[in-house]
Amino acid sequence: MDRKELQGRNKEGRARTEREILEAVDHPFLPRLYGVAEGERWSCLLTEFCPGGDLHVLRQRQPHRRFSEAAVRFYVAEVVAALEYIHMLDIVYRDLKPENVLVRADGHIMLTDFDLSLKCDPTAPTPAHVISDPVGLTGRPSASSTCIIPSCIVPSVSCFSLFPGRGRRRRRRKKASGGGGRGLNGSSDGSLPTGVLDLEFVAEPVELRSMSFVGTHEYLAPEIVSGEGHGSSVDWWTLGIFIFELLYGVTPFKGYDNEMTLANIVARALEFPKDPSVSSAARDLVTALLAKDPARRLGATVGAAAIKRHPFFNGVNWALLRCATPPYVPPPFSAAVATAAGSGGPGKKNSPNDDDDMSDDSCPGTPVEYY
């Protein structure tokens, strides 16, 4: 990053936010910050190189410039897992789009570019929101401890441990029903002992709010366009646009210019193209995510937990996403290809001519040799 350019465009704060986020995250679908180098002109963040480029370029190389539904399910599941994690850290991403989803050497994704992200103020006092479980489990940590019972014990519990932060964290109670594997009482039908509650871990920064006008025009949520203020629900709106674009090769509300695009986002009803034919589950998921009222949007209250239960993800093993076979694995790259990549990696910033808080809508210069 050019330090003078950041100063001239008043972007130092956003660069600082991105660095703080990269220093905080530790997740297989997010960048790992290996080091920082500060010079007189340049500020450098050292992260992993992704030889697969980004999903925008990869989509352009698919038949009819769109992914198969199976490939969409794979990529979206990993994006949902990444968003769930950063929401647990009280971070709203706000800039999901195919250009910001890179493909690692093993074919799995890396969600990048956090300069538009909304990060909570750690100095603001906010009480924790944890509903304790009155039922104790023999030999297991109590509900008031810092441990979560792993999903292999109670299948509906998210496979994430508690992280420091101020998001609303609670364990939702449901009546126990049969599940796969053996239950806590050793029964083969997966049933729980009488009186033991099925637990679900929920972490969503519902109290985080902003009035900023940030994002990419075609992906902006209606509440951002209308200036009503927004929170974490905008990430689930952008997820709906993201899924739509991967499936159909276009975004649903794009107009002939940015002004018309914004008008369409606020007023136009969602319509699905006749071609290609996609499953009713996929259309239902997109419809639920693209609810114009953020309070009625899928994921608005319980976050990723509600999205992961949707029928579109039937068959997805959320605990073993890293073990799933990717739809595409990039070929080994040479030093020449790596050099040609230029700024196409995680540290890529918007061009100097972009609006201050708007992402670059153009396709990044990812070398075609990647594919």
Taking residue 316's Cβ as centre, other Cβ atoms within 10 Å add up to 19
- The pairs formed by 316-322 with CB atoms below 8 angstroms and a separation of 24 or more are 316/73, 316/77, 318/77, 318/81, 318/151, 318/158, 318/159, 319/151, 319/152, 319/159, 321/29, 321/77, 321/78, 321/81, 321/108, 322/28, 322/108
Residue of 95, 113, 115, 235 marked catalytic:
95
The region that residue 345 occupies, defined by phi over 0 for left and psi between -120 and 50 for alpha, beta otherwise, is beta
Residue 363: the pLDDT is 37
Beta bridge partners of 172: 200
Q: State how far the Cα of 267 lies from the Cα of 304, in Å rounded to an integer.
A: 27
Q: Residue 45: helix, strand or coil by DSSP?
A: strand
User: Where does residue 49 fall: left (phi above 0), alpha (psi -120 to 50 degrees), or beta otherwise?
Assistant: beta
Structure token pair of residue 145 = 């401890």
**H-helix or E-strand spanning residue 74:** helix 69-88
Which CATH number goes with the domain that contains 63? 1.10.510.10
Q: Is residue 131 part of a domain?
A: no
pLDDT at 175: 43
SS3 call for 2: strand
Q: How many other β-carbons are positioned within 10 Å of the β-carbon of residue 356?
A: 11
Name the percent of the chain in helix, strand, coil, to the closest 5: 30, 10, 55
Query: Which domain range does residue 228 map to?
Result: 3-120+209-360
**Is residue 100 in some structural domain?**
yes
Residue 164 lies in a domain: no
Six-digit token pair at 54?
């980004």
Residue 270: half-sphere exposure toward Cβ, Cα within 13 Å: 16
Residue 190 lies in a domain: no
125 found inside a domain: no
Query: Residues 271-309: pLDDT tens digits?
Result: 999 999 999 999 999 999 999 999 999 999 899 999 999
- Helices vs strands, H then E, count in the chain: 10, 8
Is position 77 within any domain?
A: yes
What tokens does 366 get?
Answer: 């990812």
- Tens of pLDDT along the chain (371 residues) come to 777 776 666 677 778 888 889 999 999 999 999 988 877 777 888 999 999 999 999 999 999 999 999 999 999 999 999 999 999 999 999 999 999 999 999 999 999 999 889 887 654 444 334 333 433 333 333 333 333 323 322 333 333 433 344 444 444 444 444 444 444 344 445 455 554 455 666 666 655 556 666 778 999 999 989 888 888 899 999 999 999 999 999 999 999 999 999 999 999 999 999 999 999 999 999 999 999 999 999 999 899 999 999 999 999 999 999 999 999 999 987 665 555 544 444 444 443 334 445 554 433 333 323 22
Total number of domains constituting the chain: 1
Residue 176 lies in a domain: no
pLDDT confidence of residue 238: 97
Q: Which helix (H) or strand (E) holds 241?
A: helix 233-248
Q: Is 235 a catalytic residue?
A: no
Whole-angstrom distance, CA of residue 97 vs CA of residue 219:
7
